[in-house]
Amino acid sequence: MYNEIRIEVAVMEIHTREVHVSNVVLALLFVLAGGVLLFWPLKAMTICCQFIGSIIVFYGLTRFYMYYKQYHEGSYAVSLNLVVGLLTTAGGLFVFFRPNEVIRLFPYLAGLTLLLQAVIKVQQGLEIRHVGFTTWKGVMIMALINVIAGIVLLFNPFEAVEVTLRVIALFLLYEGISECWSLYQLSKAGRFQEPSRDRIENASYDLIDVDE
């Protein structure tokens, strides 16, 4: 029974550590993306669109290859690969050669991302409040700012694309920094602290007493 408890606790530790690391990486990516967009808005987005377009085209070509291979093998499941290959290749070429059209959609994607992050911040604030830390109010205020920023980007009142991208860059920088602060508060509240050996020992003794 004791070994089963240790295994379960170890699994929980690995899971929480992975979640913590992924959230930190995401926050740092927000900061990096915001910094790049702030100084090179149009050039950075153009390069990003061309890179993504190249990946989509490559994926489409692989589906064409699968279609060609299955066709000569006499397989009946070839039409799907042909359709997917045509659609993805056409879409990738459009993204690669018409990045300006894709950039126009970016404010809406960024707005939805900020709204989603606001929901996550509300959850983080509730967890911090549950522990008894007063900093949960700051996390909630950040979530409210996220909602306002997301709504602003969804309506996109800015006419110039470069201005819009710089505003998005500021919002992304804010999101990355505020997310790091929220994660730090969660860490202080014990959300990502590893269970101690004493807690494992006590849990095992309690189970032994129950069994007896």
Share of the chain above pLDDT 70, in %: 74
Give the pTM.
0.59
pLDDT digits (tens, 9 = 90+) for 158-208: 666 778 888 888 888 988 888 888 877 777 766 444 444 444 445 444 444
pLDDT > 50? residue 88: yes
Q: At what angle do helices 136-155 and 161-188 cross, to 10 degrees?
A: 160
As a whole number of angstroms, the distance between CA 55 and CA 120 comes to: 30
Buried b (16+ CB within 10 A) or exposed e, 158-184: beebeebbbbbbebbbbbbebbbebbe
Cβ proximity of 154 and 132 under 8 Å = no
- What is the pLDDT at residue 135? 81
pLDDT digits (tens, 9 = 90+) for 158-169: 666 778 888 888
**By C-alpha distance, which of 101, 115, 90, 114 is closest to 33?**
114
Give 196's DSSP letter. P
In the block, tokens 């959609």 appear at 105
**By C-alpha distance, which of 208, 210, 169, 212 is closest to 2?**
208
